[in-house]
Amino acid sequence: MKMSNDLEKKFQDQITLEFAASITYRQLAIEADEQDLPGIAAWLRHQADEEIVHANKFIQHVSDRGNHAAIGALSEPGVKPGLSVLEIFEAALAHEEKVSESIRELYRSADKEGDYDARPLLNWFVDEQLEEEATVSEIIGRVKLIGEDGSGLLRLDAELGSRPTESTEADED
């Protein structure tokens, strides 16, 4: 079932936001690289790639419905240089919370229009965002425990750097 023009525009906005999230994570990775924390930088780059997967899922959904997927204007990520590790992850959490609220709003809009075809995709994203926020919140808690302890920070860097890499194709779960 083709979605309304209004809902199509909201999905396009979500696609754009997912790409903006990817760019934000890439910039945060640069900030970690600047501090010689390659594991944290790799973790953040992986998150950036995951955001592209998310955008691809929305693109596929819009296209499968007979609508037109489009990416809107992207602006710079607004990440200040010289962030501490704590500030890097707080910025990541703030962006995840923004994405989560946008998905909830998209869900509300689809429900208001009686567009039940969007529910499976949006349910997946609600679950995904809960997981993303919890993961980043846990890392923030650990960074706060570590404080200024260099050995603790290096251990976290090594742990986060051990995350396996994945493809940015939308057909992966």
The three-state DSSP-derived secondary structure of the chain is CCCCHHHHHHHHHHHHHHHHHHHHHHHHHHHHHHCCCHHHHHHHHHHHHHHHHHHHHHHHHHHHCCCCCCCCCCCCCCCCCCCCHHHHHHHHHHHHHHHHHHHHHHHHHHHHCCCHHHHHHHHHHHHHHHHHHHHHHHHHHHHHHHCCCHHHHHHHHHHHHCCCCCCCCCCCC
Given this model, what pLDDT does residue 168 score?
55
113 is in an annotated binding site: no
> 5-161 domain in CATH 1.20.1260.10?
yes
What's the pLDDT at 167? 54
List own/partner pairs for 35-41 with CB under 8 A and 24 or more apart.
35/85, 37/85, 37/153, 37/157, 38/157, 38/161, 39/156, 39/157, 39/158, 39/159, 39/160, 39/161, 39/162, 40/85, 40/88, 40/156, 40/157, 40/160, 40/161
Residue position matching structure tokens 């007979």: 66
Q: Can you tell me the distance from the alpha carbon of 71 to that of 14, in angstroms, rounded to the nearest whole number? A: 9
Cα(113)–Cα(101) distance, integer angstroms: 18
In the predicted model, what is the mean pLDDT of the chain?
Answer: 94
Residue ranges of the domains in the chain?
Answer: 5-161
When pLDDT is cut at 50, 70 and 90, the band that residue 173 belongs to is: very low
Residue 170 has pLDDT above 60, yes or no: no
| 129 annotated among ligand-binding-site residues | yes
pLDDT at residue 108 tops 60 = yes
Answer whether 42's CB lies under 8 Å from 9's CB: no
Q: pTM of the full predicted structure? A: 0.91
Residue 148 scores a pLDDT above 90: no
Look at 171 and 15; give whichever has higher pLDDT: 15
Q: Is 51 known to sit in a ligand binding site? A: yes
Is position 54 annotated in a ligand binding site? yes
Radius of gyration of the chain (CA): 17
Is 18 labelled as part of a ligand binding site? Answer: yes
pLDDT, average across residues 112-126: 96
